[in-house]
Each structure stands twice: as structure tokens, then as C-alpha cells.
Structure 1
Amino acid sequence: MESYILKHPDFLSSLKPLPLDPKAPVVAQKMLRAAQKAGVGPMAAVAGAIAEELGQALLAEGLTSEIVVENGGDIFLATQREVTVAIWAGASPLSGKIGLRLKRELMPCAVCTSSGTVGHSLSLGRADALCVIAKDTALADAYATSLANLVKGPEDFSTLKKALKKAPLLGVVCVVKDQLFAWGKELELVALNTPLQGKFFPQK
């Protein structure tokens, strides 16, 4: 990947989709495809693409029959049981109180998150957390960035809904302060009673 970026510096810096390149490394090709679908630069899919590549490699080697790979808020899951993923949304009063329940039938799948208020990743929006559920982790990562860019506040939830009409995703959750947006037939939200409440997620 590093040698490819040295020869194609725009792969690292572009905020817009780039043409597909059949000569690129496999992971880079996945990133390029995901970025084209989501309308963002390929690096928006890097964490998700690497998480799935690692997870699938370990499964293929027979080293495990179940795996969860988390890479900076972007998660590849392949389990034989139901899993609940907690949503961390920084200073939002909803942090740690909501989870995404992923049924066994959805596996393998991805949960990727973008934020304009938490972490170091680039976001043009101000969502505290925008989570995407999809079958492809690179795609979920790219769409998390793309959709989070649209949200400056709760008033943008209608714009978000319009953007999701043709999106190949299983579900989306967006948290902005104390407001919540949820979309998707496969989306199941659950209330959490996390022991971390008050320690990492201040009570409001």
C-alpha cells in the first residue's frame, strides 16, 4: 500500500472519488470502489478495508471461527452469535446509552463510525456519531464519512434521509447532542445500562 501511495499521491490526499485501478493492491481496489459509491476520497475507507482484510485472513487461515476487528471506530464482525455494539458519541448525553443489536443472520457485517466532534479523523460535519451498518466494511467506512459530512445539526436529518434512498446499507444511526436519527430495516437499537456510565460518559 505504501509503495502504491508513493506512486499515486492523490490516493492519499483526494477528498473525491478516483478512477478504479486494476493494478492497485487488492485493499486499495476495495477502497477505490467503496469511495466511488459513497462519493468520497479512497482514504475514507482505509480503516474499514484493513479491518475486514485482517479479519477475513485470520478466518481463512482457520485460526478462529469467530472474530471482531476494531480499527478506530470501524469494526468488522464475523460471529456465530448475536452481538451488541455500543455507540460512543463523545459529550452527547446519549453516549453509552444506545447499542446496535446485530443478529447472527447478518454476519459477517460491519459497523463503521464517523464523527465531527470526536477523534482525529477528517469530517466536514458536526455529528457526534454517525454509525453505518453494511455487509462490506470498506463501504460502511466510506459511507460513514460521506453521510457525516452532511450533518451540521439535527436540522440536517431530513437531508440525511434523502441521501439514504439508494444507499446499499443495512442501517444508519446519527447522534447530534441529544437528538437521534435512525434508518434501516435491519437496524435494531437497544438501551444500554453500561457500567461505564458516569466514568467515561458524564451524566447530564
Structure 2
Amino acid sequence: MNGAVAARLPDGRLHLQHGPIDLIIEAFGAPDQVEPAYRQAIERFSDVLPTLVGELALLRRPVGDACPLPRGPVARRMVEAVWPYREVFITPMAAVAGAVADEVIQALCAGRSLDKAYVNNGGDIAIHLSSPHSLRAGIFARALDGAVELTHDQPVRGIATSGWRGRSFSLGIADSATILASTAAAADAAATVIANAINVDHPAVARRPARELDPDSDLLDLPVTVAVGRLPPPLLDQALARGVAEARRLRFCGLIDSAALSLQGRWRIEAPCRGGKKAVQ
């Protein structure tokens, strides 16, 4: 697999790892469908990282008026996901984790009859659901704080979370912004934008230029959040209100389905009502 590693976990799930990409995959259905699906995922995964590395220079550039034209399918997914946000600073790297998950779940399910499946790329999750199946996913900020029940008839096939405590840098102060969308790449890009919107200036918020922390960062010299101390309640409400406003705008534009936002123990939900219940709880 050209440096990629595939292993079965004790509980039967598939683990794929190559460089910074670390996937947990689980498929449900008849064994004669699940096992070939896993082999398909392994075969597709072997080429994902080398192809991305070959286009890294393009993928680290901010998206502008001219749409980038990458060659690889994962890179194309990344560009498609961030293109709606080109009026703000964003690079295709904002959707890389979700795009990888989308690509692998497509390979996993191709030609297979699976009840349900997921590809979890460090918390950014691509989902497959067939009728009448459902999937329950936990929502984490500092602990398991909630859950969402996804059914086959909902438009959601991707979940992603962003925040200043996450794997990637954030311009905002959100503990977490968990987004549900039609694909994992779309959720990933929107989570970045919404988490950035959850923001206020205060002496308790410490920031540093991204390139001081990582010379290769696609955020260049933008000030990213490195610490958030205790904030006054009115500022917490103000920051969360900004995130809710952005999530609502993206929902009305059809870019996301719903959002769960957290900051220092406070939560805000932006979601459509389905059968009298909100999509995220």
C-alpha cells in the first residue's frame, strides 16, 4: 500500500492509516458484502495521500475569483466544498479531512449492498445509510455532550467538527462547532467558517500568527487562537450569537443541514424541525 497501513481492530472495524490520515471504518450488512467493501476501501486508500501531496501547493492557496482546477478526485472534492466561501479567507485544506472520508466511503460502498457504513477521519465522518436504517453519532466538546440520530431519509451524509481545541488551527474561540451537511467535505468547510465566526476580542484570548506555530500552515500569518481563558457571560453569548447567525445563513443557503455550537459550557443549536424535534439534540 505504498506506506499505508491497514489493520482490523479487535471489534472488527477497519483501521487505515497513512501519514496524517487516520481512518476508522465500519460497515454493516451481510458478510459477503462487508468483506469485499473493506477490500475496496483498502485499495482506494493506497493512493489518496500521494495524490494529495502532489497537489499540495495548489491546495494551500486561498481560494479567489478563479476556481482552482486540481487533478485528483479528493482535491476536487475539497475545492468544491470551499468554493461557496471564496469571499472570505479559505483554502481547500479546510475540507481535506471530510473530502478524504467522502472518497473512501464512495469506494467502500461501490457495487455493494450495505445496510449502513461510516468512515471516521479524526471526527470528520462520511456516512452511508440505506432504507430503513439509521445511525447515532455522538457530539463532543470536552466530553460526550449530545448525540444525533440520522435516518436514511434525511439529507445528511456528513458530520464535521471544528474549534480552537481541534487538530487544525482556528481563527475563532469555539470549543466546538459540529456541522451536519450533505457530505463530509461540505460539513468540514462549513465547520471551519462557523467556528471562525464564534469570536470576540478579550485579554483572555491569546492568538499567534499561524506560521509561528507551523511554518507550512495554509493560514500564513493570520492570528490563530492558542488559548481562551474564562470569559464574561455577555461575551460568551455574543460570540455564540455570531456563530448561530452564520450557521443560520448557511442553512438558508442550503450549504448545511444543522449545527451544534459550544463555548465554555454553553450550547446553541441551529437546525430544522423534523416531526416536532430538532435535528441535533
Same fold by TM-score greater than 0.5: yes
Deviation at 1:162, TM superposition (A): 2.8
- 2:136 equivalent among 59, 62, 84: 84
Contact 2:271 2:280 in 1 (8 A): no
Q: 2:265 — aligned with what? A: 178
95-104 or 132-141, which moves further after superposition? 95-104
Residue in 1 that maps onto 2:76: 29
Q: Does 1:100 align with 2:100?
A: no
Q: Is the Cα contact below 8 Å between 1:123 and 1:148 reproduced in 2? A: yes
Contact 1:59 1:66 (8 Å CA) reproduced: no
Once the two structures are superposed, residues 38-59 of structure 1 have per-residue CA deviations (whole angstroms, 9 ceiling, x without a partner) of: 3421011011011011101111
Instruction: State the match for 1:202 in structure 2.
Output: none
After superposing the two structures, state which structure 1 stretch, 157-166 or 147-156, moved more.
157-166
Secondary structure of residue in 1 paired with 2:119: strand
Worse overlay, 105-114 or 144-153: 105-114
Q: Which residue of 2 aligns with 1:154?
A: 237
Distance 1:127 1:188 in 2: 21
The residue type paired with residue 146 of structure 1 is V
**1:28 partner amino acid:** A
- Secondary structure of 2:171 counterpart: coil
Residue identity matched to 2:63: P
* Contiguous gaps of at least 5 residues in structure 1: 191-204
Offset at 1:82?
2.1
Once the two structures are aligned, what percentage of the paired residues are identical? Answer: 25
Does 63-72 or 137-146 show the bigger shift? 63-72
TM-score, length-scaled by structure 2? 0.59
Residue 2 of structure 1 and its aligned partner are, at CA, apart by 4.1
- Indicate the residue corresponding to 1:42 in structure 2: 92
**Which residue in 2 is equivalent to 1:109?**
157
**Following the alignment from structure 2 to structure 1, what is the Cα–Cα distance between the partners of residues 178 and 148?**
9
One-letter amino acid of the structure 1 residue matched with residue 96 of structure 2: V
Paired residue type of 2:245: K
Task: Give the AA of the match of 1:105.
Answer: D
The change in CA–CA distance for 1:59 and 1:179 in structure 2 (over 3 A counts) is same
- TM-score w.r.t. the length of structure 1 is 0.79
Q: Which amino acid aligns with 2:161?
A: T
Shift of 1:161: 3.0
Partners of 1:34 and 1:7 lie apart in 2 by: 17
Deviation at 1:97, TM superposition (A): 3.0
Q: How many residues align?
A: 183
Q: 1:178, CA displacement in angstroms? A: 1.3
CA shift digits 1:150-174 (9 cap, x unpaired): 1134312222233232442110110
- Give the residue type in structure 2 aligned to 1:173: A
Following TM superposition, by how much is the alpha carbon of 1:7 offset from its aligned partner in structure 2, in angstroms? Answer: 5.5
Residue aligned with 2:173, SS: coil
**For the pair shown, which has the larger CA radius of gyration, 1 or 2?**
2
CA deviations 1:40-94 (Å, max 9, x no partner) are: 210110110110111011111427442111001100111232222111112xxxx
Structure 2 CA distance for aligned equivalents of residues 85 and 79 of structure 1: 13
Taking the aligned partners of 2:52 and 2:124, their CA distance within structure 1 comes to 23
Query: What RMSD, in angstroms, separates the aligned Cα atoms of the two structures?
Result: 2.3
Give distance in 2, aligned partners of 1:82 and 1:7. 36
